[in-house]
Amino acid sequence: MLKKYNFRAIESKWQQKWEESNIFKTHEDNAKEKYYVLEMFPYPSGKIHMGHVRNYTIGDVVSRFKVMNGFNVLHPMGWDAFGLPAENAAIKNNVRPDIWTWAHIEEMRGQLKQLGLSYDWDREVATCHPGYYKWMQWIFIQLFNKGLAYKKENPVNWCPSCMTVLANEQVVDGKCERCGTLVGKKELSQWYFKITDYAERLLANLDGLPGWPQKVKVMQKNWIGKSTGADVDFEIEGFDDKLKIFTTRPDTLYGVTYMVLSPEHPYVKKLVQGTPFEKETLEYIEKVQHMSDIERTSTVGEKTGVFIGRHSTNPLNGKKVPIFISDYVLMDYGTGAIMAVPAHDQRDFEFAKKFGCEITPVVDPGNPDIDVSDLKEAFVAEGTMINSGIIDGMNSNEAIARITDYLEEKSLGARAVNYRLRDWLVSRQRYWGTPIPMVFCDSCGWVPEKEENLPVLLPADVEFTGKGESPLATSETFAEAACPRCGKKAVREMDTMDTFLDSSWYFLRYCDARNEGSIFDKAKEKYWMNVDQYIGGVEHAILHLLYARFFQMALCDLGWTSKEEPFENLLTQGMVIKDGKKMSKSIGNVVSPEEIIDKYGADTARLFILFASPPDRELDWSEAGVEGAFRFLNRVYRAVFDMAEAAAGVTEGYRLENESDKSLAFVMNASIKKVTEDAGGRFNFNTAISSIMEFVNELYRYKEKGAVNKGLVRDALNNLVLLLAPMTPHICEEMWEHLGNTEPIYRASWPAYDEEAMIRDEIEIVIQLNGKVKEKLNVPANLEKAEFEREVMENDKVKLLLEGKAVVKTIAVPNKLINIVTK
């Protein structure tokens, strides 16, 4: 060990040693308790950014900490390698997507290794590798066979720039999530997964995930969007079929003054055919169809629609009400039709005001400030039923059940539940993704490819024009197939899978990443799963985590996974920002990890990231803070270098000889305790580090006093290095070696703390007078409450404080404070 901290030499030395000894390799070991720590795998863009550094540093500390605590840790890494950028590069620069991607993976793997991350690289997966996507295709087929994958003609979200279909989730503010282009609609035949079949379980299981942030659970809950209510059948005058609507407010049924169908509702065209209303209705439908979602939603508050010349009958009171169509009623939610109660629904209220519909109040707010006969806005809260026949006078919440019972009795309706969650559109008109392993046969329809023929490989003979159809269609050979069922000539599916599918099960594949005969060995899955700690950005709170939960659940139903939910604990790390803003090229405030590592080393970068902020909060990048972290590592290094000699060769134990010894032993043990709790439990590495800093400060004080209890110094130095090891592994390996240890610190045991050393003879306590701090006092530690109180009350300082005052009562908290209430 050199006198000066040479991070470059140290970091490359130890990275090389780790690599040579393959120290991070893991295998199943039933004798040990397992721990699976997983960080969200990156898209191989080619360069890591600070978000990656933070994510993977946190995961690495957890992993190393668990290893030192005796766990058999699985800590893998891989690549979410399919996706658009590779294909765009192919179009723009004429590079093959596979070559582009593999080169980027190579580059990024090197950068991750420079950070000293403890991954078992033998388990590395890349979703674009045939050995991986073979099993992706296998899963697709399992889901298809179970009836969870189906093809449907539908108007879909279409990004004219990416030339592909997008899932609802990938349309943000009516724009393409990736390129920001306005998304339009297109009629296409697409593959869907029936995630709606799992809506209830995906929702119900959230309660069983105490290790997830409340925020994420709420976001998922809202996304699934469960609504309970009733379906009600309305008759349409002069039309045979009944009109079914869904409502969450059956109590307001007497207040219905008109009906609204979605413009896409299948009844609409039949209802206006040959009537004077046909022309205007069709024109409206036409107009709505050509609107993108952004245009449709930007008109919030200003309702549009047309009366279609028909009337419907209220099943409860026989009242005839007009039927409209309007784009505020969505075809893909509920039944695509609603009963309108303008008095008690704000959207209906706005529509009624604009179109001059009747507004009949049926719920009395019981508030003199609200005039129900002249509402200024819809009254949506609970109240007392009025104008409502059999439920008059009843509380509106109670009336919901009463009316629903009545509807069911009379066969006019039934209880119903609806979810906002839609089925998942999984096909993409793209090349760089997993080919959908389906074959279309004129006689047999859609048939899955035979398992022994998997993987269906991506063809190499394709053209990237960036226009129109899927590039797979330009391959001469790809489309040709024999029907897996009847053997006749058939055609392959040309679309590929949404890349969200690839990332919905990678955590399972890590359990047995090189298995060629099966998706994974069930015993291995059983040993490693669940993921004990999942760490990643909150931007994946909804989509990725919901899809992954769905996959896990479906595979569980198929008998493949041992548990329904994959992630036991979830940590959503905060963003790395600079000067209060998100790092971005356009603002020009991006800090590159490469530069920081080059200037200060990986250990400093890791330490600063861990120290600057707790992991789930935003982290404001500060160059001065990085320098502080670097300075601290130098200080530690110096302390170890300067004091190691004094402690060298000492094997026997030691006794605490004086106050300096006691003080150092106290701080050392308190620090071990603090770091153990903070790093192991709540992942607050910032406070763990601050306590190590206090430990180091105490060590310098000890040195300054010239104290040399060799055994104590030896323990202090070793413990200091052990405590820091998960966070700054390179420098710690170096110091550990210098202290005469022969085994790598990676495999060393986490230090235990000695409660005895933390017992103090005297403790400083606080004297409060009426809750205000007045005096501090040293008293013997660990007194019984009565004794403690007597000790304090008999003290001269306290007596002086209380002179001339009448004590009403005293509250004594031993070892902490005493509060004296006086008059």
Partner RNA sequence: GCGGCCGUGGCGGAAUAGGCAGACGCGCACGUUUGAGGGGCGUGUGAGCAAUCGUACCGGUUCAAGUCCGGUCGGCCGCACCA
Residues between 255 and 284 that touch RNA (CB under 7 A): 262
Residues within window 525-554 making contact with RNA, judged by CB under 7 A:
538, 542
In the complex, least distance from residue 556 CB atom to RNA, rounded to whole angstroms: 27
Residues within window 559-598 making contact with RNA, judged by CB under 7 A:
none
686 binds RNA (CB under 7 A): yes
- CA torsion, ordered 54, 57, 61, 67, to nearest 10 deg: 140
Tell me how far apart the alpha carbons of residues 319 and 389 are, in angstroms, rounded to a whole number.
Answer: 13
689 binds RNA (CB under 7 A): yes
Q: CA distances (Å), 625 to each of 146, 600, 605, 619, 692, in order?
A: 55, 12, 10, 11, 17
Tell me how far apart the alpha carbons of residues 14 and 731 are, in angstroms, rounded to a whole number.
Answer: 9
377 binds RNA (CB under 7 A): no
Residues within window 776-805 making contact with RNA, judged by CB under 7 A:
776
Burial of 749 (0-12, 13-18, 19+ CB in 10 A): exposed
User: Which of 28/616 has CB closer to RNA?
Assistant: 616
Tell me how far apart the alpha carbons of residues 541 and 29 are, in angstroms, rounded to a whole number.
Answer: 32
Task: Give the one residue of 69, 589, 622, 795 binding RNA; rule: CB under 7 A.
Answer: 622
User: Which of 626/748 has CB closer to RNA?
Assistant: 626
3-state secondary structure 38-82: EECCCCCCCCCCHHHHHHHHHHHHHHHHHHHCCCEEECCCEECCC
Task: Give the one residue of 411, 452, 467, 624 binding RNA; rule: CB under 7 A.
Answer: 624
Burial of 97 (0-12, 13-18, 19+ CB in 10 A): buried
Burial of 581 (0-12, 13-18, 19+ CB in 10 A): exposed
In the complex, least distance from residue 350 CB atom to RNA, rounded to whole angstroms: 7
418 binds RNA (CB under 7 A): yes
User: Which of 31/624 has CB closer to RNA?
Assistant: 624
Site map 666..685 versus RNA, x via CB under 7 A: --------x--xx--xx-x-
Of the candidates 126, 217, 149, 727, which has an alpha carbon nearest to the alpha carbon of residue 427?
149
User: Which of 298/317 has CB closer to RNA?
Assistant: 298
In the complex, least distance from residue 434 CB atom to RNA, rounded to whole angstroms: 25
Tell me how far apart the alpha carbons of residues 183 and 161 are, in angstroms, rounded to a whole number.
Answer: 9
Question: Which of the stretches 452-460, 472-480, 518-526, 697-705 binds RNA when contact is defined by CB under 7 A?
Answer: 697-705
Task: Give the one residue of 229, 255, 471, 536 binding RNA; rule: CB under 7 A.
Answer: 229
Between strands 413-419 and 226-236, the pairing is: antiparallel
**Three-class SS of residue 510?**
helix
Residues within window 746-765 making contact with RNA, judged by CB under 7 A:
764
User: Which of 34/635 has CB closer to RNA?
Assistant: 635
Tell me how far apart the alpha carbons of residues 636 and 604 are, in angstroms, rounded to a whole number.
Answer: 12
Task: Give the one residue of 1, 209, 375, 693 binding RNA; rule: CB under 7 A.
Answer: 693
Tell me how far apart the alpha carbons of residues 569 and 782 are, in angstroms, rounded to a whole number.
Answer: 38
In the complex, least distance from residue 206 CB atom to RNA, rounded to whole angstroms: 13
In the complex, least distance from residue 121 CB atom to RNA, rounded to whole angstroms: 33
Question: Which of the stretches 36-44, 426-434, 612-620, 788-796 binds RNA when contact is defined by CB under 7 A?
Answer: 612-620
Question: Which of the stretches 115-123, 273-281, 769-777, 788-796 binds RNA when contact is defined by CB under 7 A?
Answer: 769-777
733 binds RNA (CB under 7 A): no
Residues within window 330-349 making contact with RNA, judged by CB under 7 A:
330-331, 333-336, 338, 345, 347
202 binds RNA (CB under 7 A): no
Question: Which of the stretches 196-204, 225-233, 424-432, 544-552 binds RNA when contact is defined by CB under 7 A?
Answer: 225-233
Whose structure tokens read 């001339």?
A: 804
Task: Give the one residue of 635, 662, 710, 760 binding RNA; rule: CB under 7 A.
Answer: 635
Angle, helices 130-145 vs 543-557, to 10°: value is 70
For residue 466, is it left (φ>0), alpha (ψ between -120 and 50) or beta?
A: left
Whose structure tokens read 């039934």?
A: 414
Residues within window 236-255 making contact with RNA, judged by CB under 7 A:
245-249
Site map 300..319 versus RNA, x via CB under 7 A: x--x----------------
In the complex, least distance from residue 390 CB atom to RNA, rounded to whole angstroms: 20
771 binds RNA (CB under 7 A): yes
In the complex, least distance from residue 212 CB atom to RNA, rounded to whole angstroms: 12
Question: Which of the stretches 100-108, 159-167, 291-299, 713-721 binds RNA when contact is defined by CB under 7 A?
Answer: 291-299
Here the tokens at position 86 are 């590779």
Tell me how far apart the alpha carbons of residues 508 and 521 are, in angstroms, rounded to a whole number.
Answer: 10
Whose structure tokens read 């043990």?
A: 669
User: Which of 376/809 has CB closer to RNA?
Assistant: 809
523 binds RNA (CB under 7 A): no
In the complex, least distance from residue 632 CB atom to RNA, rounded to whole angstroms: 6
User: Which of 419/446 has CB closer to RNA?
Assistant: 419
Total residues contacting RNA (rule CB under 7 A)? 87
Tell me how far apart the alpha carbons of residues 390 and 381 are, in angstroms, rounded to a whole number.
Answer: 20
Cβ–Cβ < 8 Å for 278, 349: no
Task: Give the one residue of 388, 573, 613, 669 binding RNA; rule: CB under 7 A.
Answer: 613
Here the tokens at position 377 are 């806005």
296 binds RNA (CB under 7 A): yes
